[in-house]
Chains A and B, each alone.
Chain A
Amino acid sequence: MIPAEFDYVAPATVDEAVRALAAGGEDAKVMAGGQSLIPVLRMRLAVPTVVVDLSGLTELTGVHDDGDSLRIGAMTTHYEVQRDPLVREHARLLRLATDTVADPQVRHRGTFGGSLAHADPAGDLLAPALALDAVMVCVGPSGTREVPAAEFFVDYFTTALAPDELLTHVKVPKLTGWGAHYEKFNRVAQAWSIVGVAAALRVSGGRIADARVGLTNMGPTPVRARGVEEALIGQPATAESITSAATRAAEGADPPSDGNADAEYRSHLARVLTERAVTAAVSA
């Protein structure tokens, strides 16, 4: 299909981008990798009058070491995240989840920031961002503010970003030496998650010292499985304690129903996949 007509702006700096967005008002749209935006335009589900293309903003690419955390540019592609040595060392969960996103073509174009800003609850990077307590750096006409992941995801396709704000960076606290696993369940290889479970664990002396568990597509926003985390922390890293903790996976979730899965089945999957994800993270 053919998108409706729009003006195209390609700013060279964040400042220019923010100004272009402000000038465009409500009808302006940011384009990162275009992997979600272009289909939406082609289906004419969105009809912006201005598209602000961020692909010239080299200042927004790459992964930087910020001491206790990593600072990942919003325009860093999935492919770059997958291969980055800092991510591999300090945020393995993110790398493992990114490995499951779409196919190589999409991973070469799609961006980390675009995925988070798009806020599709079936997207695979939201739950890891939530579980890792990532912080979003947002820049608008009135300056820069930092929004923790738990407040960033507001609803289906809705974030705390104002229409004239850009997501520029994501701060991801380092979890060096933690075990991690992302368990994705889908029907064909290139599809989004029906349910996904992101788990990161620190095991010390045979006991689970710390645990982070996030769920994909179990509600309008990514879900933090606090009940599972609580049940795991302090327990021996054994099959029994994991199985028992996993039964709490769907607590507080509000799973959708669609042709692939109804809410009951999703809740069941969340429990099974949590058990698998945590088990894998313990041995990883």
Chain B
Amino acid sequence: MTATVEPEVGKARRRKEDARLITGATRWTDNLQLTGMLHMALLRSPVAHARITSIDVTEAVKMPGVLVVLTGQDLAAEQGSLPCAWPITEDMLAPPAPSLAVDRVNFAGEAVALVVARSAAEAHDALSLIDVDYEDLPVVLDLESAIADDADLVHPDLGSNKSATWVFDSADAGTGSDVDQTIADAEVVVERTFRQQRLIPAFMEPRSVVVDPSPDSVTMWSATQVPHILRWMLAAVLGIPEQQIRVIAPDVGGGFGGKLQVTPEEVLTLLVARRLGKPVKWTESRTESMLSAHHGRDQLQRITISARRDGTVTGLKVDLLADMGAYLRLVSPGVPILGAFMFNAIYKFPAYRFTCTNVFTTKVPTDAYRGAGRPEATFAIERIMDELAAELGVDPLELRERNWIKHDEFPFTTVAGLTYDSGNYEAATARAKELFGYEALRAEQAERRANGDPVQLGIGISTYTEMCGLAPSRVLGALRYAAGGWEHAAIRMLPTGKVELITGTSPHGQGHVTAWSQIVADRLGVPFEDVEVLHGDTRVAHRGMDSYGSRSLAVGGVAVVLAADKVLAKARTVAAHLMEVAEDDVEFTAGTFSVRGTSTTMALGDVVVAAHVAHNLPDGVEPGLDAEATFDPENFSYPHGTHLCATEVDTQTGAVKIRSYVCVDDVGKVVNPLIVEGQVHGGLAQGIAQALYEEAVHDESGTLTTATLADYLVPSAVDLPHFTTDRTETPATSNPLGVKGVGEAGTIASTPAVVNSIVDAVRHMGVSEVEMPCTPMRVWKAIHRRGDGVPTTPGAGGGLGSLDSRSAEERGGAE
């Protein structure tokens, strides 16, 4: 076995998996073809809130190729209720969540009937012959009216549209003082309301499920981020013995939290496959995905910040309304709560209170979307810091410097009760300012203002932190989350010296196969190419908590290290035995054991063979070197950084153009800089998209009018600026790799940087807020103060052009 000389960790390796993914030589769920496989299609409600008075399937059943047509009534006894694993309070209200609506529909897009046919086309054709009678109920769309006393109720049985109210108060927690008193005593108070618009995760691969039933076990392939959680929940919801369920997440084309779910479609595919005794596939269209897969964000944030005249912040009060949509999905209630610990961000607030009320509406359920709770928090705090700076008349960057935690104050316990282990906000900010040319841009801004240039320049700042590495299991328990936050890894040492690494994380585009190989290569001194990473199949990777929340490296990667260390510990025992020396005299470097002070060596590969054949092992030592480990973190990890955005705002049209974007992120130790760069770029694209482009819009009847990619504007490369990215590297002290996580940082940081820059550009024209997405019309109206009567029909888009906006209404409930 050759020793690797140069460390693998830190190398900008191209991703092993990319050749396969890019050339299509791979297997997405929808590519699977099983013998005798049938196809399921779902009829979805075109109305947002209604009683189902009748469903007539007689014509649909007669259609060619159709095997069965089922309604919610047919499945009521067996479908159970979809799981919510995060009851945030003891008295949280949670409605039953059927996979197929039984007698009421609560959002447009909810499935009301299913067809199974020999081909997907036949199944879809039959949908149009199912006749459903709906008796309309009042729709509930607006958060504030939903919690009014006389509000129409989404779920009358619950008696309220308020699902739960969750409070963190620093005075009660002993982490700070009373915020009301602080605000009452304050020299300066700024209060703002921000709207976090509803977003659609828009993963590239639409969801797809294939279920192969056999009398004694069920195999499900699903485009999911969470095969392990899915298996557990299927067993719990449907009462199928868990050992008889195998879930496989094959190559999965993106998720962004959108595939962190146990979906109605997974349950239904399983139920019909079992009922018919045949494999069944369901694959959604883009529009179906947008109408039924969970959405993200959607909060109304009332933020109050208090400070002394000298700019020292004294208190922060956060009042949130969070839109759950019609049902509580897997972690819906907990998403806004994850933000509770992040509103105070990198600043030293002496007093803090966070109150969040989760509200039901007749819309698609919301749940995790890239950042989940932290982008919302970061947006609010970074926006209000700019507003406070304006109020005080100081440079917003200076205000931040005055209040942030200094690098020599770590570890630092925040007013929200978290202990930030490490960080260096000064270093990241200094580097960002230098790359950005901060002073020169400020000078140009002043000049344009003075000249009354029709194109004004704005500078937006976001000095963010976030929490990654979900999560210490004890903390999750304290937050009433139903699962743990550990991760598992196992290593199989094959007789030829090659390595199979099994991880409980479930990559869906992140490049774990490459990064984990780099970690193992260094740890065991084997070539990068000799490591195969296995994941996503519950019969191969039998233990895992899957991938979300920037946890995979900070938790799963550490489990890999621990498993490798166990392999080495045993190998050392065997090597010492074979070399006939004491274990203490054996050293290990670059794949080779050597005896201290001698020239005797033994390669790891030879130890592997010896352990495998077991001809000569010490007494009591089992054959083989395989090992497994589970890592439960002690703390979260806290990436941070400084993002600076310069935008040009055309005051005549309201058009916004990002002129330059600089980000300096500190994500701790970096395993693969190329992967980190990719995550940052993608994250920035999504964060900028929230600021400028994306919004799930409903009309007054509750129909989603942005149900195609022609009107839900996901930006492409041409719409985005060149990104200048750099890093500082302050290792995390909470894990042996020193890593923090990078999956969400770009998304979390960039949204407020962009919006701050827009407001900064036109603040002198009397603008202090532009609602997201900052469309040209919104910006223009903000400048010219023409109210905000934004219509809800989308504009012309895609191949459909204007037809799209004209047909949105009809399409509302289309499949």
Query: Real complex partners, A and B?
Result: yes
**B806 is an interface residue with CB less than 8 A from chain A:** yes
CB–CB A258/B791 < 8 A: yes
CB–CB B780/A268 < 8 A: yes
CB–CB A40/B802 < 8 A: no
CB–CB A185/B653 < 8 A: yes
Of B128, B287, B786, B802, the most chain A CB neighbours within 10 A belong to B802
Closest chain-A Cβ to B337's Cβ sits at a distance in Å of 31
**B265 is an interface residue with CB less than 8 A from chain A:** no
Known contacts being A187-B776, A188-B716, is A40 close to B800, with CB within 8 Å?
Answer: yes
Among listed A190-198, A205-213, A225-233, interface-contacting one: A190-198
Cα separation A4 to B715 with both chains bound (whole Å): 31
CB–CB B803/A157 < 8 A: yes
The residue on B at minimum CB distance from A265 is B777
Cα separation A191 to B776 with both chains bound (whole Å): 14
**A156 is an interface residue with CB less than 8 A from chain B:** yes
Cα separation A127 to B46 with both chains bound (whole Å): 36
CB–CB A39/B805 < 8 A: no
Closest chain-B Cβ to A48's Cβ sits at a distance in Å of 15
CB–CB A259/B791 < 8 A: yes
CB–CB B781/A265 < 8 A: yes
**B801 is an interface residue with CB less than 8 A from chain A:** yes
Of B121, B777, B810, the most chain A CB neighbours within 10 A belong to B777
The main secondary structure of chain A at its interface with chain B is loop
Question: Of the candidates B705, B706, B710, B789, which one forms a contact with A262 in the assembled complex, judged by CB atoms under 8 Å apart?
Answer: B789
**A147 is an interface residue with CB less than 8 A from chain B:** no
**A13 is an interface residue with CB less than 8 A from chain B:** no
Cα separation A262 to B780 with both chains bound (whole Å): 12
Cα separation A259 to B285 with both chains bound (whole Å): 24
**B697 is an interface residue with CB less than 8 A from chain A:** yes
Residues on B with C-beta less than 8 A from A261 are 776-777, 795
CB–CB A4/B777 < 8 A: no
Closest chain-B Cβ to A198's Cβ sits at a distance in Å of 17
Cα separation A38 to B798 with both chains bound (whole Å): 11
CB–CB A1/B287 < 8 A: yes
Among listed A87-95, A116-124, A128-136, interface-contacting one: A116-124
Known contacts being A1-B287, A44-B814, A192-B801, is A217 close to B796, with CB within 8 Å?
Answer: yes
The residue on A at minimum CB distance from B288 is A1
The residue on A at minimum CB distance from B122 is A2
CB–CB B715/A120 < 8 A: no
The interface size bin for chain B is 35 or more
Residues on B with C-beta less than 8 A from A187 are 693, 713, 775-776, 795
Cα separation A191 to B693 with both chains bound (whole Å): 12
CB–CB A262/B802 < 8 A: no
Residues on B with C-beta less than 8 A from A123 are 801
Known contacts being A1-B124, A261-B777, is A45 close to B791, with CB within 8 Å?
Answer: no
- Please encode chain A, from 175 to 203, with 1 for each CB lying within 8 Å of some chain B CB and 0 for all others: 00000000001011111111000000000
Residues on B with C-beta less than 8 A from A256 are 802
**B36 is an interface residue with CB less than 8 A from chain A:** no
Residues on B with C-beta less than 8 A from A191 are 710, 713, 795-797
CB–CB A264/B655 < 8 A: no
Question: Of the candidates A5, A122, A259, which one forms a contact with B697 in the assembled complex, judged by CB atoms under 8 Å apart?
Answer: A259
CB–CB B777/A39 < 8 A: no
Residues on B with C-beta less than 8 A from A260 are 775, 777, 794-795
Residues on A with C-beta less than 8 A from B792 are 259
CB–CB A38/B797 < 8 A: no
Between A and B, 30 residue pairs with Cβ closer than 8 Å are A39-B800, A43-B287, A45-B800, A106-B799, A120-B801, A121-B802, A122-B801, A123-B801, A156-B806, A187-B776, A187-B795, A188-B716, A189-B718, A191-B713, A192-B795, A192-B796, A194-B795, A217-B796, A256-B802, A258-B791, A258-B795, A259-B790, A259-B791, A259-B805, A260-B777, A261-B776, A262-B789, A262-B790, A265-B780, A272-B653
